[in-house]
Chains A and B, each alone.
Chain A
Amino acid sequence: MAVLLDEKTKLIVQGITGHQGQFHTEKMLEYGTKVVAGVTPGKGGENVQGVPVFDSCFDAVDATGANASILFVPAPYAKDAAIEAVEAGVELLVMITERIPFHDCLDIMPYARAKGCRVIGPNCPGLISAGKAKAGIMPNHIFKEGDVGVISRSGTLTYEIVNAITQAGFGQSTCIGIGGDPVIGTSMPEALELLSKDRQTKRIVVVGEIGGTAEEETARRAKRIRKPVFAYIAGRTAPPGKRMGHAGAIISRGMGTADSKIQAFEAAGARVAAYPVEIATLLRSD
Chain B
Amino acid sequence: MKFYEYKAHEIFRKYGIPVPRGVLAATPEDLVDPPLPCAVKAQVLVGGRGKAGGIKFAKTLEEAREAARAILGMTIGPYTVRQVYAQEMLDIAKELYLSITIDRSARAPLLIASATGGMEIESVPEKSLFRIHLPPLVGLQPYVLRALAKKLGLPKEGASRVSDIVRKAFALFEGEDAELVEINPLAVLKDGRVMAGDAKLIVDDNAEYRHPEYADLPQDRTPLEEEAHDKGITFIQLDGDIGVIANGAGLTMATLDVLNLKGGRGGTFLDLGGTDDPEKVKQAFEILLKAAPSVILLNIFGGITKADTVAQGVREALEEMHVNVPVIARIKGVNEDRAREILQGIGHPADSMEEAAELAVRAKAGGP
Residues of A within 8 A of B (CB): 23, 27, 75-76, 99-103, 105-107, 109-111, 137-139, 141-142, 152-160, 163, 180, 182-184, 187, 207, 209-210, 212-214, 217, 232, 234-239, 242-249, 253-254, 258, 274-277
Contacts and interface: CB of A to CB of B under 8 A. Distances in A.
5 contacts: A157-B253, A184-B107, A209-B249, A238-B256, A242-B269
Contacts of B324: none
Given A106-B102, A110-B108, A159-B301, A277 B352 contact: yes
Of B102, B209, B238, B248, most A-chain CB atoms within 10 Å: B248
Given A157-B254, A236-B257, A244-B236, A110 B107 contact: yes
A102 B251 contact: no
Interface stretch (B5-13, B51-59, B258-266, B275-283): B258-266
Please give me the 4 A-B residue pairs with the lowest Cβ-Cβ distance, nearest first: A245-B249, A154-B250, A156-B248, A157-B250
Contact of B249 (A100, A103, A154, A239): A154
B266 A101 contact: no
Interface string B198-239: 000000111101100000000000000000000000101011
A275 B271 contact: no
A157 B248 contact: yes
Contact of A235 (B105, B239, B247, B253): B253
B73 interface: no
B256 A214 contact: no
Contacts of A76: 209
Nearest to B179: A102
A248 B261 CA distance: 24
B250 A209 contact: yes
Contacts of B365: none
A245 B246 CA distance: 11
A106 B104 contact: no
Contacts, number: 164
A242 to B, nearest CB: 5
B337 interface: no
A237 B257 contact: yes
Of B246, B256, B266, most A-chain CB atoms within 10 Å: B256
Nearest to B247: A156
Given A156-B247, A156-B250, A182-B102, 16 more contacts: A103-B207, A107-B137, A141-B334, A154-B248, A157-B248, A163-B301, A163-B332, A207-B250, A212-B105, A237-B259, A244-B236, A253-B122, A254-B122, A274-B261, A277-B352, A277-B353
Given A234-B254, A276-B353, A103 B122 contact: no
A234 B257 contact: yes
Contact of B206 (A152, A234, A247, A275): A247
Interface in B305-355: 332-334, 352-354
A247 B334 CA distance: 28
Question: What is the predominant secondary structure among interface residues of chain B facing chain A?
Answer: mixed
Question: What is the predominant secondary structure among interface residues of chain A facing chain B?
Answer: loop
Contacts of B251: 154-157, 160
Interface residues of B, number: 50
B155 interface: no
Interface in B148-175: 174
Contact of A155 (B109, B135, B204, B248): B248
Contacts of A99: 206
Contacts of B332: 160, 163
Contacts of A156: 246-248, 250-251, 301, 303
A137 B248 CA distance: 13
B108 A238 contact: no
A244 B248 CA distance: 10
B334 A139 contact: yes
Contacts of A184: 107
B43 interface: no
B276 to A, nearest CB: 13
Contacts of A153: 250
Contact of A245 (B174, B234, B352): B234
A207 B105 CA distance: 17
Contacts of B114: none
A155 B136 CA distance: 29
A183 B261 CA distance: 31
Contacts of A209: 249-250, 253
B250 A234 contact: yes
Nearest to B122: A253
B41 to A, nearest CB: 20
